[in-house]
Amino acid sequence: MEPLSHRDLFHAIRGGQAATPTRRTFLRAAGLAGATWLTPVGHLLARASEQAGEGSGPAQSVIMLWLQGGPSQLETFDPHPGTRIAAGTGAVDTALKGVQLATGLEHLAAEMQSVSLIRSMVSKEGDHERGTYTMKTGFRPDPTVVHPSIGAICCHELAAAGTDIPRHVSILPGQWPARGGYLGDKFDAFRTDDPAGPVPDTSSLLSAKRDDQRLKNLDVVESAFAKGRQKRVDATLHRDTVAGARKMMSSEQLKAFDVSNEPLALRRAYGETAFGRGCLAARRLIEVGVRCVEVTLSGWDTHANNHAAHTNQLKILDPAFAALLRDLRERGLLDRTLVLCAGEFGRTPTVNAVGGRDHWPTGFSLALAGGGVRGGQVIGATDPEGQKTEPTNPVTVGDLHATVLTALGIEHDKVNQTPIGRTVKFSEGKPIAALVKGNT
Amino acid sequence: MWLRNLLFLSLVGGGGIALGVNLMPPREIQPLTTYDTELYRSDDFRATVDRVNTSFQNEWQTANVRPADPASDLLVARRLAFGLMGTVPSLEEIRQFESLPPEERIPWWIDHILADRRYDDYFAERLARSFVGTEDGPFIFFRRRRMVSWLSDELAKNRPYDDLVRELIAGEGLWTDKPATNFVSVTAQPDKGNAPDPVRLAGRVTRAFLGLRLDCAQCHNHPFAAWKQSDFEGFSAFFGQTHVGFTGIYDGTGEYEPEDRKTQAKKLVLPKVPFNAELLPEHGSRRQQLAQWVTHPKNPYFARATVNRVWALLVGRPLVDPVDNLETDGPMPPALQILADDFTAHGFDLRRLIRVIANTRVYGLDSAADHDTSEAEEKAWAIFPLSRLRPEQVAGGVAQAASVTTLNAETHILRRLVHQGAQNEFVTRYGDTGEDEFDGRGGTIPQRLLMMNGKLVRERIEAGPFTATQRINWLAPNDARAVEIAYLAALSRRPTPEEAAHFEAALTDKEIKRVQRIEDLFWALLNSTEFSWNH
């Protein structure tokens, strides 16, 4: 280890703070503060938020529950029970008076005081890949630029605060995980699968002696190559990324991915599914300073058997989403964690010949909760007859992104230069006034 | 029964001897392919190379920088292997290379690669990225793999590049039957009856074939150059009569009537080229006219754009950066025009262009120098630049480094499939850099984790009957040779005295099995800056 860690430029790459304390000093400080190993940022942030007054500051992190495939609004957040377009789907009352969710979301119904719904999302993309890109970045695909996703912007704009592990994580990443776009590959989400298994590629599985030998070997090869190239080899940052990777491998924060230490009752509350474990891991990751966790639940592309498929999906989504909100609230994290639950588009009001619903990018729903946004709001409405294609009070994808960025305290229309010199805003839209805290 | 045993033993023995020849060749090993000596000695070939060299020398003088010394010929061979085949030279090839007289090595190596299917396949993929990007595109209307394999076949025939581009721009037919039409069909718009998108096509053509970013003028007038929004619309109009039907892509009637971005009102736009209108032929479909105009020998941008891209593919950095934007503020290196003139004068022959670039002094410069070097030297091309390898190059390099024999088209199909599968998985995790292949970004932490602990590297360096580590363990006569072979296989060079001393000592450690010590040596070689950066 010694030759690699003697010059710690890792943080210089990540965010440029000087004099980052080492893990050991962190742990010591944490011990004094009477905290567990889950130390650094959680407490720094908690202190900051105490000073600012509980719940008033912007959100510090985002958890994105990504419903890949396009969930039906009618079977989730926008039921129209008893109508022709419901095609038999029922609804349940919620903690919010007068607001119903589809049958199957009973757990979430109990948490609705923290949740706001947008029932009038409109997008221009009805294709999975293009729709996913649009929802994750706030822009339609454009051949001249790749836009960054929310998580990438978060990591780019908000301080690194001593996190050894990647600050942008995608659990169960699916086909199109969140990307850094023009902000750079280093803002791509770190991809990992079901938290029941180990985090990929973070252990060498070797004896300490061989591990050590390998690093010594590497130093020898590196110094030979640096001869006559020193400055330019330094500029590649290769050695610094190696050091960063080594630091991550030995970081206590890696344990945040491991949910097996959580009490059994809590794990059961999230549901013993890959997605449930992913949501639980997301909470743990937020606690160690990760800025954005995306947890994907696939299987919403129900061109056939829509109702049965959605019933099964909700059995996974409902307990996990509700437990996550409750867990965050109980730990005092909900006020600074924005939770967003969405897919790339909705599904048609009409049921097709094989009992399915097809793609529907005009008038679909999503849920948001927690830090920086007001709970208990319902924005927009769709036609209960399924006749009108335009919902009332439509919200564009750009508006959604402007809202989310504002909730995070990020200037939503900040202008950036792409690598080819084009100017692009972080989002093209307006924050939804009813959702942004501080607006009345 | 004994006969079968004997046969088996002799097979094993024979295999061992064959391997031994690769590792420790007898002196008289001969290369398997020949090269065209005349071509490299011809006057006009030498003249172009000399003019390029002189132009750079002038630049060095102006910038007041000292050029680096020439690189070793093995290092140049490594650059060529990465640039043209996406992998490193095999140990087998290095032995053949070194059996030749020094002055014949590089010409032989270039021709050896150009005759190899790996060049066609790899270069086709790289070019395809600039033609259609990396996305899968519309499901029914686009067959990316068909297009790449067609392109590979055309490269194998060394079809003149202008001819190839004309087919891409103006080809008609079904994308499955006439793979060139995928260039058009990839832009099919599902919400508009799958009609090809003139705007995207215009953007592609200008960027990929002319090195111009006319599409920036799509939304606003271009900040640097003289392009106006109307130029872009006029250019798009050449695709206004292109349709999709039962017979695939065809040209019919109709006019280009885009919506105004602000007022949403439709307006008629007629085809118009932004410059050199006299080169536009009077006959043919609109796309044929455009194709002729784009590839016209007098259109100054076509050859320049191609040269800039081929240079970037070989060197790792374009002459004018970014690769598809020749209209930047900075000065254009004179070498670009010299190479473009030669490319035009020789019928847009890609292979000649590759040979010329590979024979220039800049291409053969070392990436290290005794004197203190920095960005100024790299900028003036006085030292060979360090550039990050693409994921496929890293994966290809790992696979080849860990095998002493050449992994090429002749390699057993099963092994190639395994290789392909592992490579795709690796590239996905490593993170494809997509179309923007020459950006100067450094690597990422997940990439390092993947290289240090990931499956591809682990499986390739773990001792197994086909891995270089086990073969070296069995067949290298002593530790010094074992270290040397590992260096040649992974880094295409011999160890420095310090490196040799370190690793020979490390190999004598009795607490760890020898083959594992060789694994640990390979691990270090594959995880080095040297391995991940073209240099």
Query: Contacts of residue B216 in chain A, CB cutoff 8 Å?
Result: 144, 420, 422
CA–CA dist B239, B237 (Å, integer): 5
Query: Contacts of residue B429 in chain A, CB cutoff 8 Å?
Result: 191, 200-201
Within 8 A by CB and 6+ apart from B64, the residues are none
CA–CA dist B39, B428 (Å, integer): 41
DSSP state, A107?
A: H
pLDDT at A345: 96
More confident residue, B210 or A31: B210
**Which of A36-40, A197-201, B179-183 shows the lowest mean pLDDT across its residues?**
A36-40
The yes-or-no verdict on residue A427 having pLDDT over 60 is yes
pLDDT at B259: 78
Indicate the pLDDT class of residue B55, thresholds 50, 70 and 90. Answer: very high
* Mean per-residue pLDDT, B46-53: 97
CA–CA dist A243, A11 (Å, integer): 10
Tell me the CA distances in angstroms from B311 to A257, B4, B163, B376, one per residue in order: 45, 55, 20, 20
- Quick check: B322 and A248 CB within 8 A? no
Tell me the CA distances in angstroms from A266 to A95, A278, B255, one per residue in order: 22, 13, 64
Q: CA of A187: which chain B residue's CA is closest?
A: B444
Q: Positive or negative, the Cα torsion across A72, A75, A78, A84? A: positive
pLDDT at B72: 97
The yes-or-no verdict on residue A33 having pLDDT over 80 is no
**Which of A330-344, A347-361, B9-23 shows the lowest mean pLDDT across its residues?**
B9-23
Which residue in B136, B325, B450 is closest to A420 by CB distance? B325
Reported as a single tens digit per residue, the pLDDT across A369-405 is 998 899 999 999 999 998 888 999 999 999 999 999 9
Query: Contacts of residue A245 in chain B, CB cutoff 8 Å?
Result: 445, 448-449, 452
- Quick check: A233 and B386 CB within 8 A? yes
Closest CA to A145 of B105, B439, B113: B439
More confident residue, B430 or B384: B384
pLDDT at A9: 34
The yes-or-no verdict on residue B220 having pLDDT over 60 is no
Which residue in A191, A225, A421 is closest to B530 by CB distance? A225
For chain A, give percent helix, strand, coil, nearest 5.
Answer: 40, 15, 45
Mutate to test the interface with A, among B218, B508, B529 (most CBs of A within 10 A): B529
In one letter, which amino acid is B374? S
The yes-or-no verdict on residue B421 having pLDDT over 50 is yes
pLDDT at A235: 85
Whether the model pTM is above 0.90: no
Reported as a single tens digit per residue, the pLDDT across A343-377 is 999 999 999 999 999 999 999 999 999 988 999 99
CA–CA dist B135, B116 (Å, integer): 27
Reported as a single tens digit per residue, the pLDDT across B398-410 is 989 988 788 776 6
- Quick check: A239 and B136 CB within 8 A? no
- Mean pLDDT, rounded, of chain A: 86
- Quick check: A238 and B443 CB within 8 A? yes
pLDDT at B257: 87
Does the predicted interface ipTM exceed a cut of 0.95? no
How long a stretch of residues is chain B? Answer: 535
Domains present along chain B, CATH in parentheses: 37-70+306-384 (no CATH), 118-295 (no CATH), 386-534 (1.10.3130)
Tokens matching residue B63: 């910038």
Closest CA to B198 of B240, B166, B228: B240
pLDDT at B337: 96
* A308 within 8 A of A183, measured Cβ to Cβ: no
Report the half-sphere exposure of B71 (CA within 13 A, side-chain side).
Answer: 28
Indicate the pLDDT class of residue A15, thresholds 50, 70 and 90. Answer: very low
The yes-or-no verdict on residue B413 having pLDDT over 70 is no
* A300 within 8 A of A70, measured Cβ to Cβ: yes
Tokens matching residue A91: 């609804």
pLDDT at B347: 97
* Mean per-residue pLDDT, A30-36: 38
Tell me the CA distances in angstroms from A274 to A106, A109, A283, B487, one per residue in order: 20, 22, 14, 44
The share of chain A scoring above pLDDT 70, in percent, equals 86
Q: Where are the alpha helices (DSSP H) in B171-299?
A: 182-185, 198-210, 229-236, 286-294
The yes-or-no verdict on residue A22 having pLDDT over 60 is no
The yes-or-no verdict on residue B230 having pLDDT over 90 is no
- Quick check: A221 and B533 CB within 8 A? no
Indicate the pLDDT class of residue B439, thresholds 50, 70 and 90. Answer: low
Reported as a single tens digit per residue, the pLDDT across B486-503 is 999 999 999 999 999 999
Q: CA of B389: which chain A residue's CA is closest?
A: A236
Q: Positive or negative, the Cα torsion across A35, A40, A46, A51? A: positive
The yes-or-no verdict on residue B420 having pLDDT over 90 is no
**Quick one: residue A34, left, alpha or beta (phi over 0 = left, psi -120 to 50 = alpha)?**
left
Which residue in A144, A222, A231 is closest to B529 by CB distance? A222
Report the half-sphere exposure of B109 (CA within 13 A, side-chain side).
Answer: 33
* B491 within 8 A of B530, measured Cβ to Cβ: yes
pLDDT at A4: 34
Reported as a single tens digit per residue, the pLDDT across A208-261 is 999 999 999 999 999 999 999 998 898 888 998 999 899 999 999 999 999 998
* B294 within 8 A of B209, measured Cβ to Cβ: yes
Tell me the CA distances in angstroms from A220 to A224, A225, B524, one per residue in order: 6, 9, 9
pLDDT at A306: 96
The yes-or-no verdict on residue A30 having pLDDT over 80 is no
pLDDT at A51: 45
- Quick check: B443 and A241 CB within 8 A? yes
Interchain CB contact of B329 with A (< 8 Å): no
Indicate the pLDDT class of residue A266, thresholds 50, 70 and 90. Answer: very high
Residue A359's φ and ψ, nearest 5 degrees, are: -65, 145
Upstream peptide bond of A177 is cis (omega within 30 degrees of 0): no
Query: Contacts of residue B527 in chain A, CB cutoff 8 Å?
Result: 214, 218, 242
The yes-or-no verdict on residue A273 having pLDDT over 80 is yes
CA–CA dist A358, A345 (Å, integer): 10
CB atoms within 10 A of CB A233: 23
* Mean per-residue pLDDT, B444-463: 89
Query: Contacts of residue B425 in chain A, CB cutoff 8 Å?
Result: none
- Quick check: B215 and A144 CB within 8 A? yes
Indicate the pLDDT class of residue A421, thresholds 50, 70 and 90. Answer: confident
The yes-or-no verdict on residue A39 having pLDDT over 70 is no
Which residue in B388, B434, B496 is closest to A224 by CB distance? B496
* Mean per-residue pLDDT, B438-466: 83
Query: Contacts of residue B372 in chain A, CB cutoff 8 Å?
Result: 231
Total beta-carbon pairs less than 8 A apart between chain A and chain B: 166
Report the half-sphere exposure of A415 (CA within 13 A, side-chain side).
Answer: 3
Mutate to test the interface with A, among B445, B483, B492 (most CBs of A within 10 A): B445
Q: CA of B132: which chain A residue's CA is closest?
A: A143
Query: Contacts of residue B461 in chain A, CB cutoff 8 Å?
Result: none
Within 8 A by CB and 6+ apart from B344, the residues are B297, B303
